[in-house]
Structure 1
């Protein structure tokens, strides 16, 4: 029968005594017999903050080490966990269990004095210098080369920083701070516009070439629209009324009521309206499924183009999903507006477009101004026989330029 062992909690722990476990920050002690340890405790036992403070010092033939259980250099694990050390007596099979406390031993260079409380911040700042001094004195050749390289890089970085600062001061002095701020605002605005505006040729000679039709609908996509677009031809008043009740686009319904009689022009317009109608449907979606549009006869190349240009891929639950975030909805609005410019002889009722996309008037005008359109007003006969003012966007050459800095300032004041 195996001998049994019992453990006993040491009674001296109740008097505040505990075992000490030390770890050295820069290596391991091979021969512990050659290390002299000294233990200090705070003499102010009446102060509850100081009575438990302890310091452990270790002297070797090369360096001195110091560790404490308070301040910035102490181990935080002592406050989070409680440690024990067991000492087994093999003769009696009795184990004495002692409270334990961990200390991190840091090297102290000759000539240094211990920092008093309140100087921990200074000690933290100079710790890098202490390590560098140790490397210079006892480091290997590889460590010394790395130290020298780091110091050279630090000098080079400071020199580069001074050169850049001097060059910036010269540019500000020559051009002026106000002009530089304006250039930065224009650059940022142009970068934001490039994210969602269709390809633009501001130097075009005709309005049709500013936002080229082929950049909106490619020739391959235009050919694929021939079959599905036929469903929009010859719609009766009842069909249009039914589409109105189903919440179809106001712009598309209005254009379907005035199709040209020329077969070629009519075919071109219904293809554009079919594509435009699907842009409206896409903007109302949050997530695009893998079979989106297939049941309605959407051509595969158009579906691929929609996913590539107007959605963002996200990874969720082990699947790749296509989402339509707010930024992509703005891009859809810009492409729909550019396509409407070709359909409507480069004049678009922005108010109707705004209502279809459920935008605010300021957001719709922001997109129109970013595309360089001239903003005007037009009176339109509304339901009930009343006249209402609509915003009108017109593409004229040269393109309109708006002060983006003033526009941003106005929006900031309004918000």
Structure 2
């Protein structure tokens, strides 16, 4: 049978015919739909006998099947009424959609099935891991991962060293060529007077750690020059860590040797893409790396025991952060009275590098918090 389409677009329809003996039902969706050529269009012409004119209407072909029940609404139609809007749209696409729409529908259904399978597999795998290791074991694994993440930004550690100075070798912090390049800019620190130190303190042109160490420069010329070079580079690292995005070719000024500027940009910045250009960024991980190298250099300056609180204040870090990095460096942390005049003579934390090295522990932030009473 052929029926005109009174409504625009393709709809899910049921047509009902009735004879003296039986009712017939045809529909354009579901398993009983006719396999018609989708490239053809069908029309119905209605002739007006009085005027002799014919009106033409779009039509659909239905395969009418006898309905052997008193219920004139098939079960499929009842199910259709309870479907969601999305499910009805999917049925429309399945019956009348373009090839592109049908491919998209098939792909979405396959992805939904794949997502369910993956979700079930992940849930099952997670349950198996929890059963095997337990919650405590998993928390320890996470804590160990955090330690390893911090360790990725540490200077090379030689655990088999027989002396503290060989655990973090000076050559891994400053290469011979870089150390040689520091002779010129560090000369001003090597020859600094007590009055100039006081003036620098008022101007705050040097960090607190360097200002305090300048008061105790060795009298031996070679040792004095060595310490001045280390202090100049340490001060440069701390000042460099306070920047966010490096826009200048020489971020530390023209007095900074080219080889040092190149080292800072290469080793202590990460590349980022912003507004169509590549920029050098000092991210949180890069600041952690700078902090680790500052601590390692301070250990070489201070016979492998350094005031972490002074460095914390210079680097503008929280205490927990610098302690996490110090413990990742395998330092033993203890309490000690700080330098008078700094931070109201507060209790300071000392970091000591000694052998044998302690085992790595979870960062403070991963430890279980005490319940508040």
The TM-score normalised by the length of structure 2 is: 0.67
1:342 aligns with 2:342: no
Question: In 2, are the aligned partners of 1:378 and 1:392 still within 8 Å (CA)?
Answer: yes
What are the superposed Cα offsets for residues 345-385 of structure 1, whole Å, 9 maximum, x if unpaired?
Answer: 1100112112212233333323222322111122245139x
Aligned mate of 2:43, from 30, 34, 39: 34
**Local SS of the residue matching 1:197:** coil
What are the superposed Cα offsets for residues 175-234 of structure 1, whole Å, 9 maximum, x if unpaired?
Answer: 4342233223322x1243135333333443332232222222223322322322222221
Question: In 1, are the aligned partners of 2:236 and 2:252 still within 8 Å (CA)?
Answer: no
Question: In 2, are the aligned partners of 1:341 and 1:347 still within 8 Å (CA)?
Answer: yes
What are the superposed Cα offsets for residues 267-305 of structure 1, whole Å, 9 maximum, x if unpaired?
Answer: 322221111110121122233232334644212222122
What are the superposed Cα offsets for residues 302-335 of structure 1, whole Å, 9 maximum, x if unpaired?
Answer: 2122112222333444443323234432322221
Question: In 2, are the aligned partners of 1:378 and 1:391 still within 8 Å (CA)?
Answer: yes
Unaligned runs of 5+ in 1: 1-18, 37-57, 65-109
Question: In 2, are the aligned partners of 1:182 and 1:405 still within 8 Å (CA)?
Answer: no
Q: How far apart, CA to CA, are the structure 2 residues paired with 1:227 and 1:63?
A: 97
Aligned mate of 2:134, from 154, 157, 176: 176
1:348-387 paired onto structure 2 within 5 Å: 348-383=306-341
Aligned mate of 1:236, from 188, 193, 196: 193
Q: How far apart, CA to CA, are the structure 2 residues paired with 1:390 and 1:218?
A: 32
Report deviation, 1:409.
3.9
Question: In 2, are the aligned partners of 1:276 and 1:339 still within 8 Å (CA)?
Answer: yes
**Local SS of the residue matching 1:60:** strand
Q: How far apart, CA to CA, are the structure 2 residues paired with 1:371 and 1:63?
A: 81
| Corresponding residue of 2:169 | 212
Q: How far apart, CA to CA, are the structure 2 residues paired with 1:125 and 1:202?
A: 64
Number of residue pairs matched by the alignment: 316
Q: How far apart, CA to CA, are the structure 2 residues paired with 1:164 and 1:331?
A: 35
| Corresponding residue of 2:264 | 306
| Corresponding residue of 2:217 | 259
Question: In 2, are the aligned partners of 1:228 and 1:298 still within 8 Å (CA)?
Answer: yes
| Corresponding residue of 2:255 | 297
Aligned mate of 2:244, from 283, 286, 290: 286
1:1-400 paired onto structure 2 within 5 Å: 22=9, 31-34=40-43, 60-61=60-61, 115-116=80-81, 119-121=82-84, 124=86, 158=117, 171-187=129-145, 189-247=146-204, 248-293=206-251, 295-383=253-341, 388-400=346-358
Q: How far apart, CA to CA, are the structure 1 residues paired with 2:196 and 2:63?
A: 94
**Local SS of the residue matching 1:34:** strand
**RMSD over aligned Cα, in angstroms?**
4.5
**Local SS of the residue matching 1:198:** coil
Question: In 2, are the aligned partners of 1:207 and 1:397 still within 8 Å (CA)?
Answer: yes
**Local SS of the residue matching 1:221:** helix
Question: In 2, are the aligned partners of 1:372 and 1:401 still within 8 Å (CA)?
Answer: yes
Query: Kindly tell me: are residues 157 and 245 of structure 1, through their superposed partners in 2, closer, same or farther at Cα, counting changes over 3 Å?
Result: same
Question: In 1, are the aligned partners of 2:243 and 2:282 still within 8 Å (CA)?
Answer: yes
**Local SS of the residue matching 2:321:** helix
Q: How far apart, CA to CA, are the structure 2 residues paired with 1:212 and 1:330?
A: 19
Query: Kindly tell me: are residues 214 and 120 of structure 1, through their superposed partners in 2, closer, same or farther at Cα, counting changes over 3 Å?
Result: farther
Q: How far apart, CA to CA, are the structure 2 residues paired with 1:400 and 1:235?
A: 39
Question: In 2, are the aligned partners of 1:196 and 1:334 still within 8 Å (CA)?
Answer: yes
**Local SS of the residue matching 1:115:** helix
Query: Kindly tell me: are residues 339 and 32 of structure 1, through their superposed partners in 2, closer, same or farther at Cα, counting changes over 3 Å?
Result: same
Question: In 2, are the aligned partners of 1:35 and 1:60 still within 8 Å (CA)?
Answer: no
The TM-score normalised by the length of structure 1 is: 0.61
Unaligned runs of 5+ in 2: 1-5, 12-36, 46-57, 65-74
